Amino acid sequence: MPKTSARLLALLSLLQARRDWPGTALADRLDISLRTVRRDVDRLRELGYPIAAIKGPDGGYRLSAGTELPPLLFDDDQAVALSVALQIAATTPGNGIAEAAARALTTVRQVMPARLRNRINALRVTVVERPTTRPATPVDGSLLLAVGAAVHAQEVLRFDYGAESDRPPRRAEPHHLVTWDGRWYLVAWDLDRADWRVFRVDRMLLRTPNGPRFTPRELPAPDVATYVAGKFRGSSEGSRWPCEGVVVLDKPAATVALYTADGIVEELGPDRCRLTLGSWSWPGLAAAIGRFDADIEVEGPPELSAAFALLATRYSRAAGSSAGPNT
């Protein structure tokens, strides 16, 4: 049987890897008794990990979200990926979270084992901004979190907007938080003007508390991407690209937005977003989406799914082909 400290780390790793764990499954994976599992869970609770018991025939455990952030456990690959992501965020001008990301990167480096710290120290990332005619529009991370929370909770937002600070605050039902060409926007129903509006988030100054909850209205378009595209392109006739598709990516909206110059990114959750993107061909569009290195769910159209299948066959042949002579 492993020592207690190693066993606790192994148990914590399992609880982080899956939402629900039957007690018997944990006992089998760790090669310990159910009684020892219960004792180890109690020890983790004493350390601040909010582990809930699941009722049922077999019983079980779930690592829940808590009011405080306890120590986290990452494997080597996760720790390296986290450090790279933080370094990109810390060196990206105008993203609103560079300072916080730099502090987080310092904290992560301090607790890393030497073998990983040396790998990270050897990596230096410099983010070069793409040419643009518009000025940088940094958005505070706490503002994005507050707006996103109101969208998910379906609560009316009250806010001062731009140069309108001398007027009564705007009242709006927030529906979608999206990015377009490097800027964050809120699609909302303006209660005072009784119409849909697209607000730039960097111009919003929130008032607290939020207003009452509301029942979401239907957008005057098939989806939020079509609506926003019509607003910014001066037409509701759709995309200027001959091929346009919609996918859901298992990646944060803020990360996808960093590398999306001409698409719409809609936040669906902390690590999930919807991307609407166009290209001159369906295989070209599928290849552009594949660069995000994330699990992909195609929402449409069928031509995009067929393009992914074509690329999968093409890449499979390439992977199986014999390597040529070294040059």
Ranges of each domain in the chain: 4-63, 76-121, 141-216, 239-319
Alpha helices in 131-281 (DSSP H): 141-153, 224-233, 253-258
What are the CA-CA distances from residue 56 to residues 17, 20, 62, 130 (Å)? 21, 12, 13, 55
* pLDDT score for 120: 66
pLDDT at 236: 39
Distances from the Cα of 127 to the Cαs of 56, 84, 89, in angstroms?
A: 51, 12, 9
Distance CA 284, CA 311 (A): 10
For the stretch 289-310, what's the b/e string if a residue is b when 16 or more beta carbons lie within 10 angstroms of its beta carbon? beebebebebeeeebbbebbee
User: Quick one: CA dihedral 285, 288, 291, 293, positive or negative?
Assistant: negative
Q: What is the pTM of this model?
A: 0.44
Cα–Cα distance between 191 and 195 in angstroms, integer? 7
Question: What does the pLDDT read at residue 238?
Answer: 43
CATH topology assigned to domain 4-63: Arc Repressor Mutant, subunit A (1.10.10)
Predicted local distance difference test score (pLDDT) of residue 85: 74
The pLDDT value recorded for residue 248 is: 93
Residue 110's pLDDT is 65
DSSP, residue by residue, 50-90? -EEEE-SSS-EEEE---SS-------HHHHHHHHHHHHHHH
Which are the contacts of 5, defined by CB distance < 8 A and separation ≥ 6? Answer: none
The domain over range 141-216 is classified in CATH as 2.30.30: yes
Residue with tokens 């720790």: 79
- In tens digits, what is the pLDDT along the chain, a chain of 327 residues? 456 677 887 787 788 767 788 888 888 888 888 888 888 888 888 877 788 888 776 678 887 765 455 566 667 777 777 777 777 666 665 556 667 777 777 767 766 777 776 666 655 554 444 444 444 466 777 787 788 888 888 999 999 887 766 678 889 999 988 877 667 888 899 998 888 888 888 888 898 888 899 998 988 887 787 777 777 664 433 446 678 889 999 888 877 877 776 678 888 887 888 898 888 788 888 988 988 888 899 998 999 999 999 999 888 888 876 555 554
Max Cα distance, the chain (Å)? 72
* Helix H or strand E encompassing 281: none
The CATH code of the domain at 239-319 is 3.30.70
- Long-range contact pairs involving 150-153 (C-beta distance under 8 Å, separation at least 24): 150/174, 150/210, 151/175, 151/176, 151/177, 151/186, 151/267, 153/210, 153/213
9: how many CB neighbours lie within 10 A of its CB? 14
